């Protein structure tokens, strides 16, 4: 199947009052697991490569990007590629040539006016290339080991009026909103501010994106989709599933040396996690096992 476009998948999800799952991939096993999991439930999916993943790959985008494109083109379900949490303009400019139909331009660390100016410039460039672009307003926090933001600190939550002005002034195609989730949680105990999400949904005419979704139980994910979230970013849940499965396997098989044995176990665990989360987002409801539990 040819590569899908993120904007099309998000628009279709929003029209169906559903959400498309967007998984962060680091290794080829992540890529294969996300595609296999989405295929097993017959749902489209977004594969995301973050700037941090590129840094891990010695700063090179293309090796992982080309493998991801090749895998996505052979998928039985629509798969789109997205560059995630991009702060580097150099990386932004590599997006179209590397097969990415969309980027998330992350200038949320900057004061409002600087975020607006940097995002505006990125949007102008991206749209000229036919790239769909997401930005962030508010502090979702938790990236790169930083502590979660104090929910009462100024700017820790996305303000609906400010968000409406930001979207109008920048021309972004989607907005990542800070409504109570935090990046890199390994427990599924976060609770969203659903009243704020409702106000944001009413104030904005672009799809809303949820980051830090690994920390949310199934019922919060379902409520987020009902509240207007159309793209759900998930990263840590895959790593928790992979690492947990490999840790158990190696404890049971201390003699193992063939990396295919433990990477295969890790890939299977991620595939199950993807299938379950994609089903929750598409169908709603469901139970909340710990990540990595089938
Ligand atoms: O952009 C990526 C996501 O926000 C991933 O967050 O690792 O907490 O699931 P997570
Ligand atoms: Zn994120």
- What are the tokens at 164? 């409406």
Determine the atom of ligand 1 nearest the C-alpha atom of 140.
Answer: 4
Residue 258 CA to ligand 2 centre (angstroms): 33
Q: Is residue 291 part of a domain?
A: no
Structural domain tally of the chain?
Answer: 1
Residue 177 CA to ligand 2 centre (angstroms): 10
pLDDT in tens, 226-274: 999 999 999 999 999 999 999 999 999 999 999 999 999 999 999 999 9
0.75 cut: is pTM over it? yes
Cβ–ligand 1 distance for 268 under 6 Å, the answer no
Q: Is residue 89 part of a domain?
A: yes
Quick check: helix, strand or coil at residue 183? coil
Q: Is residue 184 part of a domain?
A: yes
Best of 52, 182, 183 for a ligand 1 pocket test (most atoms within 8 Å of beta carbon): 183
Quick check: helix, strand or coil at residue 121? helix
User: Which residue, judged by its Cα, is nearest atom 2 of ligand 1?
Assistant: 233
Residue 23 CA to ligand 2 centre (angstroms): 10
Residue 288's pLDDT is 54
Determine the atom of ligand 1 nearest the C-alpha atom of 181.
Answer: 8
pLDDT in tens, 144-166: 887 777 777 777 899 999 999 99
Q: Are 209 and 178 in contact (CB under 8 A)?
A: no
Q: Is residue 273 part of a domain?
A: yes
Residue 255 CA to ligand 1 centre (angstroms): 34
- What are the tokens at 79? 């798969």
Q: Print the domain residue range for 244.
A: 6-283
- Which ligand has the minimum distance to the alpha carbon of residue 181? 1
- Which ligand has the minimum distance to the alpha carbon of residue 214? 1
Residue 290's pLDDT is 64
Q: Is residue 294 part of a domain?
A: no
Cβ–ligand 1 distance for 139 under 6 Å, the answer no
Q: Is residue 292 part of a domain?
A: no
Beta-carbon contacts of 49 under 8 Å, excluding residues fewer than 6 positions away, are 24, 25, 61, 64, 65, 68, 81, 82, 83, 84, 100
Best of 192, 208, 235 for a ligand 1 pocket test (most atoms within 8 Å of beta carbon): 235
% of the chain surpassing 90 pLDDT: 88
User: Which residue, judged by its Cα, is nearest atom 4 of ligand 1?
Assistant: 211
Asked whether residue 192 carries a pLDDT value surpassing 80, the answer given is yes
User: Which residue, judged by its Cα, is nearest atom 10 of ligand 1?
Assistant: 212
* CA neighbor of 134 nearest in space, from 157, 106, 94, 166: 106
Q: How confident is the model at residue 286 (pLDDT cuts 50, 70, 90)?
A: very low
* Mean pLDDT (whole number) for 26-48: 98
82 alpha carbon, distance to own chain's centre: 9
Cβ–ligand 1 distance for 212 under 6 Å, the answer yes
Q: How confident is the model at residue 168 (pLDDT cuts 50, 70, 90)?
A: very high
Catalytic machinery residues: 84
Q: Is residue 17 part of a domain?
A: yes
- Residue 188 belongs to domain with CATH number: 3.20.20.70
Cα first-last separation, the chain: 28
Q: Is residue 131 part of a domain?
A: yes
Diameter of the chain measured on Cα atoms:
59
């Amino acid at each position: 199947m040819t590569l899908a476009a993120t904007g099309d998948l998000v628009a279709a999800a929003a029209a169906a009052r559903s959400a498309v799952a967007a998984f962060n991939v680091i290794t080829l096993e992540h890529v294969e697991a996300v595609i296999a999991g989405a295929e097993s439930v017959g749902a489209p999916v977004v594969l995301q490569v973050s700037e941090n993943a590129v840094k891990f790959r010695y700063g090179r985008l293309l090796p992982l990007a080309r493998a991801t494109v090749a895998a996505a083109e052979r998928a039985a379900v629509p798969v789109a590629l997205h560059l995630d949490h991009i702060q580097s303009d150099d990386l932004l400019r590599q997006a179209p040539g590397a097969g990415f139909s969309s980027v998330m331009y992350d200038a949320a660390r900057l004061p409002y006016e600087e975020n607006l100016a940097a995002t505006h410039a990125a949007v102008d460039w991206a749209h000229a290339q036919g790239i769909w672009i997401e930005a962030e307003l508010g502090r979702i926090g938790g990236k790169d080991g930083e502590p979660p933001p104090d929910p009462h600190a100024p700017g820790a939550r996305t303000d609906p009026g400010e968000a409406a002005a930001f979207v109008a002034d920048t021309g972004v195609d989607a907005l990542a909103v800070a409504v109570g989730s935090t990046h890199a949680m390994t427990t599924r105990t976060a609770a969203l501010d659903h009243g704020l999400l409702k106000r944001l949904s009413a104030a904005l005419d672009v799809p809303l994106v949820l980051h830090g979704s690994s920390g949310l139980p199934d019922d919060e994910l379902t409520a987020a989709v009902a509240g207007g979230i159309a793209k759900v970013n998930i990263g840590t849940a895959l790593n928790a599933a992979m690492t947990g499965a490999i840790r158990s396997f190696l404890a049971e098989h201390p003699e193992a040396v063939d990396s295919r044995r433990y990477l295969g176990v890790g890939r299977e665990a991620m595939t199950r996690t993807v299938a379950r989360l994609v089903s929750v987002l598409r169908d709603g409801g469901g139970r909340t096992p710990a990540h990595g539990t089938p």
